[in-house]
Amino acid sequence: MAKDLVIGIDIGGQTTKCGIVDARGTILSQTVIRSDNHTEVEPYVAELAAALNHIIAEAGAEDRIRGIGVGAPNGNYYTGTIEFAPNLTWGGQQKIEFAKMLSEAVGGIPVSLTNDANAAAMGEMTYGAARGMKNFIMITLGTGVGSGIVINGEVVYGHDGFAGELGHTCAVRHNGRSCNCGKNGCLEAYASAIGVARTAREWLEMSDEPSVLRSLDRISSKDVYEAARDGDALAKRVFDFTGRILGEKFADFIEFSAPEAIVLFGGLARAKEFLTEPILKAMNENVLPLWRGKVQLVYSQLKESDAAILGASALAWEL
C-alpha cells in the first residue's frame, strides 16, 4: 500500500495537537492531548503514541503513514532532540532524544523534528498568510514567545539547529523580569500569555485603580482580554504596554533580516484589536527610516491547530 499520508504534531506547553495529513494539505483526522500531565518524558511519549494509533485507526490509515513531523519547543532539526525546554513540564534541564523515542513507540515510523515556531512558519508559508513570501518572521504568542525566521524561502536553523530564539532576546535591560529560561528581561517574560497575566497582576498590586480583574483569584491572559473587550481601562493599558514592547523588538528583528512581513500566530494574537496599533506605532518609531511603513504586520489565516500541524507535517514528506 502506498505511503501517501503523514502526521503532523505540534507540542505546546499545555497541549499537544496531532493530525493525519494528505498530500493536498487536508487534515483527515486529529486529536489533542495534554502536554503538561506528566513530569517525565516516557509516560508522555506513551500517551502520545496511543493517541496517534487511535487517529491512524480512525482514518483507516494503517500502513499508509510515510513519516511524522514534530514541532516542539527547543526542538533541534539536525539532531531530533528537544533540549532544555523550560515550558515543558517533562523538558526541564535535559536533552531528550525525542524523535528516536517516538519512532520506537509507534513501530518504527520515521520522525523528523523542528522548533514549534519553525513548524508554524512552514505551515503559514505553504497554506496561510505568508503564502508566496520568501522573507518573513513568524512570531508565536502562546505560553512562550517563539519565532521562525524565513530568508529566501528557507527556514534559518543556524549551525547548531537553534537559530531564531527571538523570544529570549532582551526586552527590558535593567531590572527585567526573570524568565523560565534563567535569564532576566526576555521578551517572553512580557509578551507571552503568561507575561500579559503577570503584567496585570503587578499593576493591580501597585495601584488602587478599579478593575474587574480584582475580583479574580487567578488571572489569565484570556481574562485580561475579556476585560479589555468589556472596556476595562487597566486591561486595555496592559495590551498597549505589551504591544509597545513587541513593536520595539520587531524593529530590531527587521533591521537584521529585512522581512516582507511579521506574521503573528497563537492564542495571544487573538487580541489583535488591542495589539495592532501599539505594535505598529512602536515598530515604526524604532526602525530605521528606510524600513518605516514598509514591513507588513499580518495575522495567521489558519486555525491555530492547523498551522502548526500542517507545518510540522511538511517535515515528514522529506523522510
Q: Are 80 and 106 part of one and the same domain?
A: yes
Instruction: Say whether both 103 and 184 belong to one domain.
Output: no
pLDDT score recorded for residue 306:
81
pLDDT > 90: percent of the chain: 81
> Using CB atoms within 10 A of its CB, is residue 211 exposed (0-12), middle (13-18) or buried (19+)?
buried
Any domain includes 127: no
Please tell me the distance from the alpha carbon of residue 27 to that of residue 305, in angstroms, as a whole number.
Answer: 10
Query: Which residues, in sequence order, are CB contacts of 313 under 8 Å at separation 6+?
Result: 6, 7, 8, 19, 21, 69
Same domain, 292 and 234: yes
pLDDT band at 13 (very low <50, low <70, confident <90, very high): confident
37 with 115, same domain? yes
Please give the pLDDT value at position 90.
Answer: 94
Asked if residue 167 and residue 101 are part of one domain, the reply reads no
Provide the mean pLDDT of the chain: 94
Question: Per the domain annotation, does 246 fall within a domain?
Answer: yes
107 and 152 part of one domain:
no
User: Where in the sequence is the domain holding 220, given as residue range(s)?
Assistant: 133-300
Do both 221 and 143 map to the same domain? yes
Query: In angstroms, rounded to a whole number, what is the distance separating the alpha carbons of residues 97 and 101?
Result: 6
pLDDT score at 170: 97
How sure is the predictor about 147, in pLDDT bands with cuts at 50, 70 and 90? very high
Q: Are residues 207 and 137 in the same domain?
A: yes
Domain CATH code at residue 36: 3.30.420.40
Q: Clarify whether residues 59 and 175 are in a common domain.
A: no
Amino acid identity, residue 66?
R
Q: Which three cell numbers stand for residue 63?
A: 500502513
Residue 305 pLDDT exceeds 80: no
183/255 same-domain check: yes
Q: In the chain, how many domains are there? A: 2
Q: Is residue 273 part of a domain?
A: yes
Q: Are 184 and 282 within one domain?
A: yes
Q: Which helix (H) or strand (E) holds 102?
A: helix 98-105
Establish if 234 belongs to a structural domain. Answer: yes
pTM, two decimals, is 0.86
| pLDDT digit string, tens, across residues 37-92 | 999 999 999 999 999 999 999 999 999 999 999 999 889 999 999 998 888 999 87
CB distance 233 to 209 below 8 Å: yes
**Whether residues 73 and 138 fall in one domain:** no
In 3-state terms, what secondary structure has residue 20?
strand
Beta strands of the chain (E only): which ranges? 5-11, 15-22, 27-34, 65-72, 82-83, 95-96, 111-115, 136-141, 145-151, 154-155, 261-265, 296-299
Residue 294 lies in a domain: yes
Distance, CA of 68 to chain centre: 19
Q: What tens digit of pLDDT does each residue of 285-303 get? A: 999 999 999 999 999 988 7
Mean pLDDT computed over 171-183 = 92
